[in-house]
Amino acid sequence: MRTAPMWISLMLTAGVVTVGLGIDSAGWSGAAVAQKRSQGRESVDRIVSSLRAVDTAYASGNAAEAQTRFGEARTAWNSLAPRISAREAREQQLLFDSLDKELTSGAPATKVKSTISGMIGELHEDIERELR
């Protein structure tokens, strides 16, 4: 007979502690969303840094270094793309493809710089907005 009241009191205590600590299904998912957004912003920072390095290397005539940095940017982008809308991801992917063609075809440095500037603008305006 004592086990039923004890079980009920234990369950009530656990419920009060859980609510008191703010642990609920929304709280857990809210923390996970915040962490994913933070990781997404860090990925954007890595992409931007790598793209700037591509521009610097390409402008100085170091195509091999530019390709290496482009690979770093593409890898960071591939980890970020699933976290954003398909529309925004598609736009940025087209810019990555365009930059890849420019780097491999030996496009003028001004064209590469223009493409990179557009990519960085897109990352800062649209992609970061989605990660807020």
pLDDT at residue number 12: 67
Q: Say if 3 falls within a structural domain.
A: no
Is residue 12 in a domain? no
**In which domain, by residue range, is 100 found?**
26-130
Give the per-residue pLDDT at 132: 73
Domain count, the chain: 1
pTM score above 0.75? no
The answer to whether residue 4 is domain-embedded is no
Asked if residue 90 lies in contact with residue 21, where contact means CB atoms within 8 angstroms, the answer is: no
On whether residue 104 sits in a domain, the answer given is yes
What DSSP line would sit under 24-52, residue for residue?
Answer: SHHHHHHHHHHHHHHHHHHHHHHHHHHHH
Is 42 contained in some domain?
yes
pLDDT by 10-residue block (mean), the chain, 132 residues: 64 57 52 63 91 97 96 94 89 95 96 95 83 73
Looking at residue 69, which CATH number applies to its domain? 1.20.120
The one-letter amino acid at 129:
R
CA distance 19 to 14: 9
* CA 73 to centroid of chain Cα atoms: 11
> Is 11 within a domain?
no
Tell me what pLDDT residue 96 has. 96
In a domain, 16, yes or no: no
For residue 54, being part of any structural domain is answered with yes
